[in-house]
Amino acid sequence: MSTNKIIIEDTYKAFSRGDLQYIVDACAENVTWSYYGLPRVPVTGDFQGKNGVKQFFDSFRLFKTLDYMCHEFIVDGDAAVVLGSGKVLVKLTQKTFDHNWCHVYTLNDGMIIAFRGFTSNPQGMASAFLE
């Protein structure tokens, strides 16, 4: 198994146990972290550096993950793609949304230097966050 595959798999294990600092520590200082979706959703946007990654994960306090599954890890050199699905409850609105997701990583020297996240249900995500 490649080192990069181990790094990516370990970040998802850390997420599952709630160790978000582990993910921040796996990132390079100048990491770019982006999650694509509709505006006004706290987890969407572009985040820069380790502090940006912390800001991204700070928004997770707004919701509760009800279901989260990684279905496939695809790693080729310094590129990795993870496909999965999940169900999320937004605490403020008490609305849920289901979605498939795709996470795309770029690594360099064993560190995450870029993350791009995509949801199959941006409208459902936005509706769940907005009252």
Q: How many domains does the chain have?
A: 1
Burial 73-94 (b: 16+ CB within 10 A, else e): bebeeeebebebebebebeeee
Q: Give the domain CATH number at 102.
A: 3.10.450.50
1 has pLDDT over 80: no
pTM of the model as a whole: 0.94
Which tens digit of pLDDT belongs to each residue from 53-108? 999 999 989 999 999 999 999 999 999 999 999 999 999 999 999 999 999 999 99
Query: Is 92 within 8 Å of 58 (Cβ atoms)?
Result: no
pLDDT for residue 95 = 96
- Tracing tokens 């169900």 back to the chain, one arrives at 87
Range(s) of the domain holding residue 8: 3-129
